[in-house]
Structure 1
Amino acid sequence: MEQGPIVIVGAGQGGLQAAALLRQSGYEGELTLIGDEPGLPYQRPPLSKAYMAEGNADALILRAAEFFDSKAIRYLPETRVHAIDRVSRRVGTDAGDLDYGHLILATGSSNLRPPIPGLERAMDLRTLADAERLRGKIATPRRFAVIGGGFIGLEFAAVARKAGHAVTVAEAAARLMARAVSEHMSAMFLAKHRDLGAEVILGDPVSSVVDEGVTLVGGDQVAADEVLLAAGVRPNTDLAEVAGLVCANGIVLDGRLLTSDPAISALGDCASFPDPRTGRMIRLESVQAATDHARHIAARLTDKGDGPYAAVPWFWSDQADYKLQIAGLAQPSDRAEVVSEDVVLRFDDQDELTAVETINNAKVHMKTRRSLAGGEPVTADDARALIG
């Protein structure tokens, strides 16, 4: 079991979960959780959904202040970590230097900012402060232009349309959520958003943001009072890079979720790790992945398990009355088999199941998630039989 102090940089859901699980698993040493935002750690997924509709910030809080005292976790909000000294095992922070026996980096990700002139006029939706600002804009009728047709942009678009606002989604790719789902699911959600009354523009990227809205590469202009940037994220690796850790589309980890320095682990959006199924390096932007990473790291540091990370990825997105759930992880090239309007199976070139996409079908989602977690390849015939 790790004996020295443990420092966790990043107080999102993964970082907080790592701290809680370390205590739950029996770690009794010094434990510090550092976050750069004010207030208590909170959930991010509802920012573009429930919070945007209801505005209840208290419902986002993951743990009350008393939790940190009761578990002897030193929590440092609004604190920036500016350096890691790997030789002396010390991190430099705004609150002073902290020694560590083991360091966990949970630095997350930040909005990708394409080189679009005028982008400083656009709003972000990454933090609670971002969400509070954006929610203030939907109090009165507005025209919104959303740059990006991924989960966040579409979730906000659905909420804004329900509130009666005019919404235009501009997606540079030829279809919605192209990195995450099959063509069938893209088409289903395109139809849903157009039915909601949103204008969706595909394959025509935004070339500039202007006072009147946005201009597209094709020359058309979209009139808007407010512009939301939702064009993807980038991993926050600056701290790790300056410290000399190996980084490539994230902080590079081995199968145990250790960095190139065995005294440092990483988790969540900032981490690039081997896919348990293929061995290919992947980076997942998912609360569930961050939570699973935290569980694995806490088990390793408390001698409760030291095998390779093997959790099955899963994702979800709520858009109007559609709940998209994805069990597993498909590549864009994986074959899609449309079983029904609400179920799509994905298969690799060996005809093994890689993912299952569903809409409002929790039963199939859970059955296939359990099957993928079984450790054995799931054949096409097995997958079809599983969903009946």
Structure 2
Amino acid sequence: MTCPRARLSRTPAIGSAERPLRRSVSPDVSAFLAERHGLDGVRLELGAAVTAFHGTEGRVASVVTDDGRELPADLVVVGVGVVPATGIAVTAGLAVDGDNGGVTVDGALRTSDPRVFAIGDCASFPSEHAGHRVRLESVQNATDQGRHLAAVLLGQDPGQYRELPWFWTHQGRTKVQIAGIGRPSVHRIVRGDRSSGKFSVFSFDGAHPGAALLAVESVNSPGDHLAARRILEAGRTPSLADLADPSFDLKAYSRFVPLPA
């Protein structure tokens, strides 16, 4: 998302996706964030791509979008993401995942050469939480994989890497915390009061009895986030009926869920 800043009161934010954080959060959370950004004076220009910056003497004056608009700006902040630096791995003959660009590792974080390991943002590993191979750019992932590899190198045999992914982002006055990894086609239950700015979205792998909990997105609800992490780390799932009941105490439920050794 590119943020040309013409006026503090109505800062345009340009994004090529149709909603904020489309790849990271559910439509419920995206809609809430769009509303909050609007209240904070940010004008979202979504579904548009930046094609050029115009200016003079090395200073930007406007941003041009692919639909022909030219937005005035005196400061532009550009977020374009990253590409994993796998050149050394390729030169060394290690396998690289063609889908996400990361160095391919197995469940123990070993590359195609069993003497070489890869961890962190550049590693593409099989995730039981996502149900497929992923490459995660997060502090939690890099830290937990570092601990796992240290145990391997010390001969402790920790087994397969299975740590629960969790993430957070600050969006103005709003804090979003995510436990687990959601999937495009899931069943969602929203708990909490959206109008108060505190709620959580629970994503399941279906709407049937016994459906598994995949991920929880908590908006300004750190208690829900911590409870969700505990529940997901233990591989437990509260029922759909429980979560649909406003009187269900998620924190109390999580206290009786034992954490894995």
TM-score using structure 1 length:
0.56
Q: Which residue of 2 aligns with 1:90?
A: none
C-alpha distance after superposition, 1:198-257 (max 9, x if no partner): 111111222222222211111111111222221322222122112111111201110001
Cα distance in 2 between the residues matched to 1:218 and 1:278: 36
Q: Which residue of 1 aligns with 2:78?
A: 229
Counterparts in 2 of 1:380 and 1:234: CA distance versus 1, 3 Å: farther
Would the aligned equivalents of 1:372 and 1:378 in 2 still touch at CA under 8 Å?
no
Cα distance in 1 between the residues matched to 2:153 and 2:123: 18
TM-score using structure 2 length:
0.81
Q: Which residue of 2 aligns with 1:208?
A: 52
Cα distance in 2 between the residues matched to 1:353 and 1:362: 18
Query: Aligned match of 1:368 in 217, 228, 250?
Result: 228
Q: Which runs of 5+ in 2 are unaligned?
A: 56-60, 252-261
Cα distance in 2 between the residues matched to 1:386 and 1:242: 54
1:170 is aligned to 2:14? yes
| Cα drift, residue 338 of structure 1 | 1.9
C-alpha distance after superposition, 1:173-203 (max 9, x if no partner): 1100000001110011111111111111111
Would the aligned equivalents of 2:129 and 2:180 in 1 still touch at CA under 8 Å?
no
Structure 1 window deviating more from structure 2 (210-219 vs 365-374): it is 210-219
1:182 is aligned to 2:26? yes
Q: Which residue of 2 aligns with 1:333?
A: 185
Larger fraction in helix: 1
Would the aligned equivalents of 1:353 and 1:380 in 2 still touch at CA under 8 Å?
no
Provide the secondary structure at the position in 1 that maps to 2:230: helix
By relative contact order (CA 8 Å, sep 6+), the higher-ranking structure is: 1
- Tell me the amino acid that sits aligned with residue 294 of structure 1: G
Provide the secondary structure at the position in 2 that maps to 1:264: coil
Would the aligned equivalents of 2:9 and 2:41 in 1 still touch at CA under 8 Å?
no
Q: Which residue of 2 aligns with 1:244?
A: 93
| Cα drift, residue 164 of structure 1 | 4.5
Q: Which residue of 1 aligns with 2:212?
A: 352
C-alpha distance after superposition, 1:315-374 (max 9, x if no partner): 001122211100111123323322232211111247321110111111111011000000
Identity of aligned residues (%): 37
Q: Which residue of 1 aligns with 2:255?
A: none
Cα distance in 2 between the residues matched to 1:287 and 1:375: 22
Aligned residues: 232
| Cα drift, residue 297 of structure 1 | 0.6
| Cα drift, residue 283 of structure 1 | 1.0
- Tell me the amino acid that sits aligned with residue 70 of structure 2: Q
Cα distance in 2 between the residues matched to 1:260 and 1:378: 39
Would the aligned equivalents of 1:352 and 1:380 in 2 still touch at CA under 8 Å?
no
Would the aligned equivalents of 1:346 and 1:355 in 2 still touch at CA under 8 Å?
yes
Counterparts in 2 of 1:338 and 1:279: CA distance versus 1, 3 Å: closer
